[in-house]
């Protein structure tokens, strides 16, 4: 099976710092790049991270994670990749596998134990007594007014 190219590749450039390139001619991907902090470099097909000298590793990593959250396939340098290639085979993504396990991996008894554990009260909470607020009555008293001058007749 042929490997598909990622939508976006993020890497380091000697002159421009953190750069990104789209592998498909996709105007939506270009718009998303602008949203996560990249701008088109003049006379180039590359996009450079705005203000490249201000914390480029953290900002590059955040951009990669945001692009992946927007369902783009992203290939990134190790410095910007917080979760390098944790894919398990092909087909559904890792997140989908964790959220929706197949019927063959979870037995009904295991599912029942999970649901009971999720709805049970934690032993730590069961023994804890709720913090009681002291009974304090608050009385409203207006501030005293300034003394009025006495009038004489």
Task: Provide the pLDDT for residue 89.
Answer: 44
Task: Provide the pLDDT for residue 111.
Answer: 75
76/59 Cα distance (integer angstroms): 13
Select from 66, 1, 5 the least CA-distant residue to 32: 66
Task: List b or e across 74-110, with b for residues whose CB sees 16 or more CB atoms inside 10 angstroms.
Answer: bbbeeebbeeeeeeeeeeeeeeeeeeeeeeeeeeeee
56-59 LR contacts (CB < 8 Å, sep 24+): 56/17, 56/18, 59/18
> Tokens for 105?
């991996």
Residue with tokens 């009971």: 116
Q: Give the tens place of pLDDT for each residue, 134-143.
A: 666 667 677 7
75/83 Cα distance (integer angstroms): 11
pTM: predicted TM-score of the whole model, two decimal places = 0.52
Which residue stretches of the chain have pLDDT < 70? 1-3, 83-106, 118, 120, 122-138, 140, 153
Task: Provide the pLDDT for residue 135.
Answer: 63
């Amino acid at each position: 099976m042929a490997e598909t190219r990622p939508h976006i590749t993020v890497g380091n450039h000697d002159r421009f710092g953190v750069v990104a390139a789209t592998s498909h001619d996709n105007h939506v991907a270009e718009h998303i790049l602008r949203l996560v902090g990249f701008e088109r470099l003049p006379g180039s097909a590359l996009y450079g991270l705005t203000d490249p000298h201000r914390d480029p590793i953290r900002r590059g990593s955040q951009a990669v994670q945001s692009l992946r959250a927007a369902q783009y396939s992203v290939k990134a340098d190790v410095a910007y990749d917080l979760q390098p290639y944790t894919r398990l085979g092909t087909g559904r993504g890792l997140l989908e596998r964790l959220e929706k396990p197949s019927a063959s991996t979870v037995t009904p008894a295991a599912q029942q134990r999970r649901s009971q554990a999720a709805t049970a009260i934690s032993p730590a909470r069961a023994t804890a007594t709720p913090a009681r607020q002291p009974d304090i009555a608050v009385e409203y008293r207006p501030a005293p007014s300034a003394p009025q001058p006495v009038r004489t007749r």
